[in-house]
Amino acid sequence: MEADPFQKNPAACHAFGDSKYLDTIPAGSVLIWDAHFGANESKVPLDSLLMNKRQRVINYFRPDEPWLTFGGGWYDCYVTLTMNPGETCDNYTIRDSIREFLDARRAIKTLYTNTFENPGDAWDMSYLSTGTVHQGKYAFRMDQRTEFSPGCTLPVSVIPSAGTKAQLLVSLYLDMPKADPTKNTLLVISFEHRNKPYSYTSVNLNILKTRPCRWDRVTLATPLPGFVSPKDLLKVYIWNPGRQLFYVDDIKVRLTP
């Protein structure tokens, strides 16, 4: 843009001091928010930006190697366009779409995809939802019947060699009507030798601060371990021991640098 934000003429750098000043920005303005200056010096938390009715995310950036900024949050950067009164958008959905694009572009190989649109994606049609769907016609319904979700089971021999920093990235879309912190509902990545895990990574879906009754993109990543045998298995699945009700769609397992 050939504009130095630290020069007062023609551009100026303002530290807001409070998220309420987002509403004073003229329509048509472009705002650049980053996780250090935006959250700390300007005191505008990310959720305040994403939930502001006048700011529409038009781009999103993050480092190739994630790092924590001051305050403990992951460093990233958002560019928003200030809209006219009455215009609406869903910035979380826009952000998730951009993240999906960035992950797909960086991927070395996609190892597994389940959209629940094809025969065999679910055990039978009774497990599929048509009313609550991220995209397409169907999503998978987890409920009192389903302790384990459909998932990925692959021999590690199909994973190409990709250097010491390669990692496995799992992404899916989740619609959880009500998070329950008393339940341990896990998205799991497991590497197993003779059915015994030697590398196990998981995250409790109830602690991810997803929006109730809305589709949010969830990810889990882990470095590739040293394989014991080419016959070892990679397993990716959701473990639902409390038989919690939620919906899952568009599961992807990728190898990334």
Q: What pLDDT tens digit does each residue of the chain (257 aa) get? A: 676 766 666 555 666 888 988 988 999 999 999 999 899 888 999 999 999 999 999 999 988 788 899 888 889 999 999 999 889 999 999 999 999 999 999 999 999 999 999 989 999 999 999 999 999 999 999 999 999 999 999 999 999 987 678 999 999 999 999 999 999 999 999 999 999 999 999 999 999 989 999 999 999 999 999 999 999 999 999 999 999 999 999 999 999 98
> What is the pLDDT, as a whole number, of residue 41?
86
> What is the pLDDT, as a whole number, of residue 15?
67
Task: Give the sign of the dihedral formed by CA 146, CA 100, CA 47, CA 36.
Answer: positive
Rounded Cα–Cα distance for residues 8 and 229 (Å)? 62
The region that residue 253 occupies, defined by phi over 0 for left and psi between -120 and 50 for alpha, beta otherwise, is beta
Closest alpha carbon to 240 in 168, 155, 140, 154: 140
> What is the pLDDT, as a whole number, of residue 27?
93
> What is the pLDDT, as a whole number, of residue 215?
97
Domains and CATH numbers, the chain: 19-89 (no CATH), 99-256 (2.60.120.260)
Output the furthest CA–CA distance in the chain (Å, rounded): 67
Question: For 139, what's the count of Cα atoms within 13 Å in the CB-facing half-sphere?
Answer: 21
> What is the pLDDT, as a whole number, of residue 163?
67
Rounded Cα–Cα distance for residues 255 and 257 (Å)? 7
